[in-house]
């Protein structure tokens, strides 16, 4: 069965520092991979997605993620964090098994310090 693990419950980085949020998935074939961001009191917003092709995908707000099949990972990165990036980040995986479900990780809360 598909699963998604986000090992870090929360992370604190200084403004201007680089960021990497980890995501590991479990699925037998190449999955559909997503990163979403949730600001307080709001729903989830799609940052980026990976289906196939180039393993480094660019998203909105300066984020990127790299798909590494050998490590079953899809880590999210940003070279320089802004205070407005403080939010909860969810990794998600969908499998084209004829079903529809997208499985979400438990989320990583990002704190940004001045």
Partner 1 sequence: GAGVSQSPSNKVTEKGKDVELRCDPISGHTALYWYRQSLGQGLEFLIYFQGNSAPDKSGLPSDRFSAERTGGSVSTLTIQRTQQEDSAVYLCASSLDGRVGQPQHFGDGTRLSIL
Closest approach of partner 1 to the CB of residue 66, in Å? 19
CA distance 44 to 79: 22
Give CA–CA dist 6/52, Å, rounded: 22
Please identify which residue in 34, 63, 67, 89 interacts with partner 1, judged by CB under 8 A. Answer: 34
Stretch that binds partner 1, among 35-43, 53-61, 62-70, 77-85 (CB under 8 A): 35-43
Q: Which of 42, 55, 58, 84 binds partner 1 (CB under 8 A)?
A: 42
| Binding test (CB under 8 A) with partner 1, winner from 21, 23, 76, 95 | 95
Whether 89 contacts 8, CB under 8 Å: no
Q: Measured between alpha carbons, how far is 56 from 42 in angstroms, rounded to an integer?
A: 28
């Amino acid at each position: 069965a598909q699963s998604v693990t986000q090992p870090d419950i929360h992370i604190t980085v200084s403004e201007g520092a680089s960021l990497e949020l980890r995501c590991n998935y479990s699925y037998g074939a190449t999955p559909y991979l997503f990163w979403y961001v949730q600001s307080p009191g709001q729903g989830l917003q799609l940052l980026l997605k990976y289906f196939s092709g180039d393993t480094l995908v660019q998203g909105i707000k300066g984020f990127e993620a790299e798909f590494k099949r050998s490590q079953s990972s899809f880590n999210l990165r940003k070279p320089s964090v802004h205070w407005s990036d403080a939010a909860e980040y969810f990794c998600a995986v969908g499998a084209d098994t004829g079903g529809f479900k997208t499985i979400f990780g438990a989320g990583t809360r990002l704190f940004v310090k001045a």
